[in-house]
Amino acid sequence: MLSRVYSCAVVGLEGVIVEVEVDYTNGLPGVTIVGLPDAAVQESRERVQTAVKNAGLHFPRHRIVVNLAPAVVRKEGPAYDLPIALGVILLAGHLPHDVVDGTLVVGELSLDGVVRHTRGILPMAATARANGYKRMFVPEVDAPEAALIPDLEVIPVKSLADLYDHLAGRRLIQPYQPSENFLEPLFTPTDFSEIKGQEHVKRALEVAAAGGHNVLMVGSPGAGKTLIARALPGILPEMSIEESLDVTRIYSVADQLPVGTPLIKHRPFRSPHHTISHAGLVGGGNIPKPGEISLAHRGVLFLDEFPEFGTRVLEVMRQPMEDKVVTISRAKGSLTFSANFQLIAAMNPCPCGYYGDSLKPCTCAPAMVTKYQKRISGPLLDRIDIHIEVPRVDYEKLSGNKLGESSEAIRKRVQTARDIQNNRFSNGEARDVVCNADMRIGEVRQFCQLQPEGQSLMRAAMSQLNLSARAYHRILKLSRTIADLAGSEEILSTHLAEALQYRPKIMMG
């Protein structure tokens, strides 16, 4: 008699229910798997047979056909081992068929029957609850991740033999009880108080952190661009539980969740090397996987040595920077990944690094400087809200013992500004907007009204700086953030003046 066990596939960042059907057919003993399986799923034949035997159970000496439905969804990875093994056990009559009613089963099997870690558990658990499943069997190591989804009974399975004993009623496995004791490895950045000088750069990063704005730092080598960027995580605001689940889902699918950390609570800080491919940055592959911009979702993407990245690599970021998502299209279909990241970029002004330096002369020909700066296109620069020069630090400041303002003090101001934004956007139609940088045209019109004095200042800036419509809206968003940091309801001309100060005086190159 045909047996059915329900499992789950992950397509993009979403789960899809998979029906695992197991039945006998005529022919020589063996196992055939159909339903668009990849190589890892095909190999489960050998793992399942050996695991069932090593669990002390009889494996039927028949020709067995396993169908993974729906057949149009590609099945990849070893997550179907446990449901296939359970289907075979039910088919052999070791257990009644109704023991898996209302249950979702996922897990990879080792040859001795131990259930191993499986990626993508969080979206699978969310799909299980959304489709009305009350219970889920998962690998023991992944139980804390599945338990993040409420109203779902999570059974942590150590081995196939333990699962058989549980379903037979011999030795019950207790449902996993979530706890808050897990520790996420915290990225400990440099404290802002340790950074000497560069007060205007610290201020720019405070504004960027408060509103989620993109930043480009330009300066000679050794001025402190990378150090300041790596100190940024220390002043970023806390993530809400919705943001944490959003980020954790991406890391679960990418199989990059730190061991023992079912929920990511700190904002991601990604810093890929400039040799990265465009598929590595935005995502891709035959079966598309999230790239660095998705792994930086709700956090920071730091691109050091900005012009050294390939032109094609940088240009593919333009659309995700606007849309906050990236859609990867292949012949087999399209997948959409979240990509609401904050770009922090650092670069030298020229190949030798000393163009415009106060002490060391530049050795580059003017044409080389222009060519170097033109590696960053105008449309990409236009999407960066804050352009800041990082000058050389004086000896007196470097050698002095005076400490600056601590990251903790700055973080409190940033958090206060974010709270103001959350209150502003939590009512009405802007609930999906988290920070000022996420505002669309409608929200900009509603929340970024200028007073007459500010309007005349903006009119003069538009003509003098040749600003685009995009730059106009980005300046208004930046002004709103500066006003929030100051605790002001209105955008004053002083807030607008500071926002204009962060635009490049002339387009580079």
Q: Which residues are within 8 A (CB) of 323 and not within 5 positions of it... i.e. 6 or more apart?
A: 339
Tell me the mean pLDDT in the region 404-412: 91
Least confident of 13-22, 175-184, 415-424: 175-184
Secondary structure of residue 81 in the 3-state scheme: helix
66-109 per-position pLDDT tens digit: 999 999 998 999 999 999 999 999 999 999 999 999 999 999 99
- pLDDT (tens digit, 9 = 90+) per residue, 136-158? 999 999 999 999 999 999 999 99
Q: Mean pLDDT, to the nearest integer, of 204-209?
A: 96
Q: What are the structure tokens assigned to 103, written together?
A: 């249950």
Instruction: Specify burial of residue 203 (Cβ count, 10 A radius: 0-12, 13-18, 19+).
Output: middle
Q: What's the pLDDT score for residue 507?
A: 41
Three-class SS state of 327: strand
**pTM for the full model?**
0.90
Give the residue with greater pLDDT, 287 vs 182: 287
Give how far the C-alpha of residue 46 lies from the chain's centroid of Cα atoms, to the nearest Å.
35
Four-point Cα dihedral 256, 257, 258, 263, nearest 10: 160
The predicted pLDDT at position 35 comes to 95
Instruction: Give every CB contact of residue 220 below 8 A, 6+ residues apart in sequence.
Output: 348, 349, 353, 354, 356, 357, 360, 391, 392
- How high does pLDDT run on average in the chain? 91
Please check the confidence at residue 316 and state whether its pLDDT lies above 60: yes
Q: How many residues does the chain have?
A: 509
Q: Are 357 and 32 in contact (CB under 8 A)?
A: no
Query: DSSP letters along 120-169, please?
Result: THHHHHHHHHHTT--EEEEEGGGHHHHTTSSS-EEEEE-BHHHHHHHHHT
- Backbone φ and ψ of 34, nearest 5°: -125, 170
The answer on pLDDT for 509 being more than 50 is no
Residue 57 is which amino acid? L
